[in-house]
Amino acid sequence: MANPTGPTGEALHRKRPPHPIRAYGDRMGDGGVQLSFTLPVAAGGRAKEAARRFAEGLGLRSVLVTAMEKAGTEFTFFVVYGRSEVTLDFAEVEVPEVTTPEWTPKEVNTLVKERLGRRVIVVGACTGSDAHTVGIDAILNMKGFAGDKGLEAYPWFDAHNLGAQVDNQALLTRAREISADAVLISQIITQRDVHKENARAFIELARREGFRETLFLLGGPRIDHALARELGYDAGFGPGTRPQMVAGYIVERLLARKEGRP
Which contiguous run of DSSP H or E holds residue 219? strand 215-219
Residue from the set 25, 58, 91, 121 that interacts with another protein by CB under 8 A? 25
Task: For residue 77, list its beta bridge partners.
Answer: 38, 69
| Partner interacting with residue 240 (select from another protein, its own copies, ligand B12, none; CB below 5-8 Å by kind) | ligand B12
Size of the chain, expressed as the number of residues it contains = 262
Residues contacting 204, CB < 8 A, separation 6+? 232
CB of 165 to another protein, least distance (A): 7
Say which DSSP state 191 is in: G
Establish if 86 lies at the interface with its own copies (CB under 8 A). Answer: yes
Displacement of CA 174 from its chain's centroid (Å): 25
Residues contacting 251, CB < 8 A, separation 6+? 4, 101, 103, 108, 111, 112, 116, 120
The answer to whether residue 143 is catalytic is: yes
* Residue-by-residue DSSP string for 126-164: EBTT----HHHHHHHSTT-BTTB--GGG-TTEEEEE--S
Question: How many C-beta atoms lie closer than 10 Å to residue 143's C-beta?
Answer: 13
Choosing from 70, 106, 113, 143, the catalytic residue is 143
Residues between 160 and 189 that touch another protein (CB under 8 A): 163-165, 189
For residue 206, give the amino acid letter.
A
Task: With contacts defined by CB under 8 A, name the span among 40-48, 104-112, 126-134, 201-209 that binds its own copies.
Answer: 40-48
Residues contacting 197, CB < 8 A, separation 6+? none
Site for ligand B12, rule CB under 6 A: 124, 129-136, 138-139, 145, 184-186, 188-191, 217, 219-221, 237-241, 246
Establish if 8 lies at the interface with its own copies (CB under 8 A). Answer: no
CB of 55 to its own copies, least distance (A): 9
Establish if 222 lies at the interface with its own copies (CB under 8 A). Answer: yes
Residue from the set 9, 58, 121, 196 that interacts with its own copies by CB under 8 A? 58
Residues forming contacts to another protein in the complex (CB under 8 A) are 24-28, 32, 34, 36-38, 64-67, 69-75, 77, 79, 81, 129-131, 133-134, 137, 143, 163-165, 189-192, 194, 221, 239
Residues forming contacts to its own copies in the complex (CB under 8 A) are 21-25, 28, 32-41, 45-46, 48-50, 53-54, 57-60, 64, 75, 84, 86, 88, 90, 93-95, 97, 222
Which residues are part of the catalytic machinery?
Answer: 143
